[in-house]
């Protein structure tokens, strides 16, 4: 039987950020924790020209101090823009602060060359830098000391990180839809942080980007790297790889208002710069909106696809109102 765990993505309001907004989202986190949610996702826009954001690291630390049970994950950290020693220390520290609830969501970042140029990094190297970084992070999390590491991008001598609470290390979820992302998941990760929307790839048949097709590729890579692919339950231990899926939503019995809120969020505010980009029409096609019953039906479809965890991602500038609808209209039915 498929486990039915739920998560929620909480972001500072897309149109402003201040202490009042943070307190509003801290309250969402507390209520989600009290409601028994399994996971909270914290988006990161580290490299983007967007002042209306809170950096994911202090944000998660503050939320960890206000919750007790819910797991907390980066969604996702743009790995090639950081030094791996920095990420390892951050992750271990968050694991300690949260008493073993930290999850590293890892990605290569969006395909925007300027984001990498501002950090003196070539976008052409982002994949290989990510691989080497994940290798180093896992070593720092599982070994008391790295006496020497000589890589293509990083050279380390006599370095260590704080000891993580979770053993052998905090889970690593890898985001992305490319073949490289699926290989990276099997090689370094514990789960694939998938989605349920079709990626618009020029000349690529839609069936090649279906969840089923991507999972088949992931299975092949798991076999190659000696991992066991698991479906319908949370992976256990370093030799298993599972997957979670997410659903974009906007709950409002007035369908026209739901669509307009989604359009405003995606086009006017975010300008298609999150979730790997894509058109509004594509996001609408694979979102759940309108009455809560429509959302519940979509969620059940993802569980049937073998996801042990479904993460709600509100397409709205008012995530707090969306959370209230999830809490009152969706959770009682799941």
Q: What digits encode the pLDDT tens for the residues 8-53? A: 998 766 678 899 989 999 999 999 999 999 999 998 877 777 777 8
240 secondary structure, DSSP code:
E
Report pLDDT for 322.
Answer: 94
Residue 95 and residue 72: Cα distance in Å, rounded? 9
Q: What digits encode the pLDDT tens for the residues 322-331? A: 999 999 999 9
Strand ranges (E), the chain? 5-9, 39-42, 71-74, 77-78, 102-107, 146-150, 155-159, 172-175, 191-193, 228-229, 240-251, 287-290, 309-314
CATH 3.10.100.10 fits 5-333, yes or no: no
31 secondary structure, DSSP code:
H
Residue 154 has pLDDT above 70, yes or no: yes
Where are the domains positioned within the chain?
5-333
Model confidence pTM above 0.85 = yes
Residue 5 has pLDDT above 60, yes or no: yes
C-alpha dist (Å) from residue 276 to 63, 222, 256: 26, 24, 25
């Amino acid at each position: 039987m498929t486990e039915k765990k739920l998560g929620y993505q909480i972001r500072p309001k897309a149109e402003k950020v201040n202490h009042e907004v943070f307190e509003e989202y801290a309250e969402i986190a507390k209520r989600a924790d009290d409601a028994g949610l399994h996971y909270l996702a914290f988006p990161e826009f580290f490299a983007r020209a967007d002042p209306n954001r809170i950096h994911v690291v202090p944000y998660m630390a503050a939320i960890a101090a206000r919750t007790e049970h819910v797991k907390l994950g980066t969604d996702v950290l743009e790995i090639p823009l950081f030094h791996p020693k920095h990420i390892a220390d951050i992750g271990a520290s968050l694991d300690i602060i949260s008493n073993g609830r930290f999850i590293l969501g890892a990605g290569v970042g969006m395909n925007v060359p300027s984001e990498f140029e501002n950090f003196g990094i070539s976008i052409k190297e982002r994949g290989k830098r990510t691989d080497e970084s994940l290798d180093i992070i896992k070593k720092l999390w599982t070994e008391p000391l790295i006496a020497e590491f000589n890589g293509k991008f990083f050279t380390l001598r006599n370095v260590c990180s704080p000891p993580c609470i979770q053993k052998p290390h905090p889970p690593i979820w890898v985001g992305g839809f490319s073949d490289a992302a699926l290989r990276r998941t099997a090689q370094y990760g514990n789960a694939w942080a998938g989605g349920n929307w079709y990626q618009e790839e020029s000349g690529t048949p839609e069936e090649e980007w279906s969840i089923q097709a991507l999972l088949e590729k992931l299975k092949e890579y798991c076999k190659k790297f000696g991992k066991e692919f698991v479906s319908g339950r949370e992976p256990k231990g370093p030799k298993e790889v599972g997957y979670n899926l997410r659903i974009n939503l906007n709950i409002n019995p007035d369908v026209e208002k739901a669509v307009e809120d989604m359009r405003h969020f995606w086009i006017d505010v975010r300008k298609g710069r999150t979730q790997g980009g894509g058109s509004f029409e594509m996001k609408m096609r694979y979102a759940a909106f309108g009455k809560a019953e429509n959302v519940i039906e979509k969620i059940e479809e993802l569980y049937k696809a073998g996801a042990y965890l479904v993460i709600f991602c509100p397409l709205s500038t008012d995530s707090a109102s969306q959370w209230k609808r999830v809490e009152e209209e969706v959770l009682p039915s799941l």
